[in-house]
């Protein structure tokens, strides 16, 4: 694992490389995540591949970077990362959760061998009868609340995550992910993630469906969607249910949909079996 910094407007964006092969994968994490969300997948790659993950603006060791945030701003930062590491038409682009939506926007502007969307990337139905902010609280309220909480120490922060219903199958990769996010502050630790960044990005996930749909149809590379059958709280309905997926596979010719069995929105990246399957799909060579 090798860290590096990429110059972007406002400062430097932190990136990490998993692997040392010539074939590149550019990976974009979710709304309250960090580059450590890719550790298990990155270390599951076959020889010959390198996965480059970044801390998006407002997260991890890129939390110091100023706004404005937003999906398009992140896509611009991804372009700078791709150029910095020498990505080309033989490289692969991937994103998980919100990162898949950022990848959709980026893939409309740069050619890749393929773009793999992991439990995200399909435009979500616009909120009906409520504001985007209200809908955001209903969907991500507990995750947003965590960002302002202080915990006694790093171990207490880990214990908080261990109680999450979607993380019952705890693993070293999850623990590394949580400890990376723990920021020492006066009186304990808190998340490195900026709440204002999450709110702006989350609002756009709910209001920019038309632009995201247009970008999905304009992708310059073949699209694969890998879905988790269970959701953010390990509930039986996933983030992208069959009905929504059917709408977009009909609208976007060539969008390949695959359900990854026995995982939820988080364990699709952290579980040994699920991460190995994702790594296999990322590096598939017909």
What is the reported pLDDT for 24? 98
> What are the backbone dihedrals phi and psi of residue 59, each rounded to the nearest 5 degrees, phi first?
-135, 160
CA–CA dist 106, 159 (Å, integer): 36
Domain ranges of the chain: 2-130+208-282
pTM of this structure: 0.96
CA–CA dist 73, 69 (Å, integer): 6
More confident residue, 283 or 138: 283
> What are the backbone dihedrals phi and psi of residue 94, each rounded to the nearest 5 degrees, phi first?
-145, 155
What is the reported pLDDT for 133? 82
Mutual angle of helices 71-85 and 98-107, in 10-degree steps: 70
- Is the confidence at residue 157, as pLDDT, over 90? yes
What is the reported pLDDT for 174? 97
% pLDDT > 70, the chain:
100
Q: Which tens digit of pLDDT belongs to each residue from 61-97?
A: 999 999 999 999 999 999 999 999 999 999 999 999 9
CA–CA dist 12, 251 (Å, integer): 38
CB 57 within 8 A of CB 77: yes
Neighbouring C-beta atoms of residue 90, cutoff 10 Å: 11
What is the reported pLDDT for 54? 98
- Is the confidence at residue 1, as pLDDT, over 90? no
CA–CA dist 267, 251 (Å, integer): 29
* pLDDT bucket at 125, cuts 50 / 70 / 90: confident
* pLDDT bucket at 134, cuts 50 / 70 / 90: confident
**What is the torsional sign of CA 162, 172, 65, 139?**
negative
* pLDDT bucket at 120, cuts 50 / 70 / 90: very high
More confident residue, 119 or 136: 119
More confident residue, 139 or 218: 218
Question: Lowest-confidence range among 13-17, 137-141, 229-233, 235-239?
Answer: 137-141
% pLDDT > 90, the chain:
90
Which pairs count as long-range contacts for 36-40, CB under 8 Å and 24+ apart, including other chains?
A: 36/60, 36/176, 36/177, 36/180, 36/181, 37/96, 37/177, 37/269, 38/96, 38/269, 39/1, 39/173, 39/176, 39/177, 40/171, 40/173, 40/269, 40/270, 40/271, 40/272, 40/275
Q: Which tens digit of pLDDT belongs to each residue from 259-278?
A: 999 999 999 999 999 999 99
CATH class label, 2-130+208-282: alpha beta
* pLDDT bucket at 251, cuts 50 / 70 / 90: very high
Q: Average pLDDT, stretch 159-183?
A: 97
CA–CA dist 199, 41 (Å, integer): 27
What is the reported pLDDT for 126? 74
Question: Lowest-confidence range among 60-74, 126-140, 192-206?
Answer: 126-140
**SS3 assignment, position 160:** helix
Nearest to 270 by CA among 99, 40, 22, 76: 40
- Work out the mean pLDDT of the chain and round it to a whole number: 95
Q: Average pLDDT, stretch 170-194?
A: 97
What is the reported pLDDT for 285? 82
CB 51 within 8 A of CB 41: yes
CB 59 within 8 A of CB 193: yes
CA 36 to chain CA centroid, nearest Å: 10
Cα angle vertex 143, ends 140, 149, to 5°? 140
- Is the confidence at residue 213, as pLDDT, over 80? yes
């Amino acid at each position: 694992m090798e860290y590096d910094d990429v110059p972007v407007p406002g400062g430097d964006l932190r990136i990490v490389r998993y692997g040392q092969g010539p074939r590149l994968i550019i990976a974009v994490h979710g709304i309250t995540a960090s580059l450590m969300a890719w550790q298990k997948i990155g270390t599951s790659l076959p020889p010959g591949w390198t996965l480059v993950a970044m801390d998006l603006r407002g997260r991890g060791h890129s939390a110091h970077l100023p706004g404005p945030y937003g999906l398009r701003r992140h896509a611009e930062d991804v372009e700078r990362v791709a150029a910095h590491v020498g990505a080309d038409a033989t490289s692969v682009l991937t994103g998980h959760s919100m990162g898949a939506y950022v990848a959709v926007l980026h893939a409309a502007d740069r050619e890749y061998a393929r773009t793999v969307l992991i439990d995200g990337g399909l435009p979500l139905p616009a909120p009906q009868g409520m504001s985007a902010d209200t809908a955001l609280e209903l969907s991500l309220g507990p995750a947003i609340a965590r960002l302002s909480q202080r915990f006694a120490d790093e171990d207490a922060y880990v214990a908080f995550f261990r109680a999450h219903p979607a993380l019952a199958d705890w693993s070293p990769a999850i623990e590394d992910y949580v400890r990376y996010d723990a920021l020492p502050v006066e009186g304990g630790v808190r998340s490195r993630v900026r709440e204002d960044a999450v709110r702006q990005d989350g609002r756009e996930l709910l209001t920019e469906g038309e632009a995201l749909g247009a970008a999905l149809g304009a992708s310059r590379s073949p699209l694969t969607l890998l879905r988790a059958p269970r959701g953010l709280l390990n509930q039986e309905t996933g983030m992208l249910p069959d009905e929504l997926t059917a709408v977009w596979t009909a609208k976007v010719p060539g969008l390949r949909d695959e359900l990854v069995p026995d995982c939820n929105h988080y364990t699709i990246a952290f579980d040994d079996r699920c991460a190995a399957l994702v790594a296999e799909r990322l590096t598939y060579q017909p």
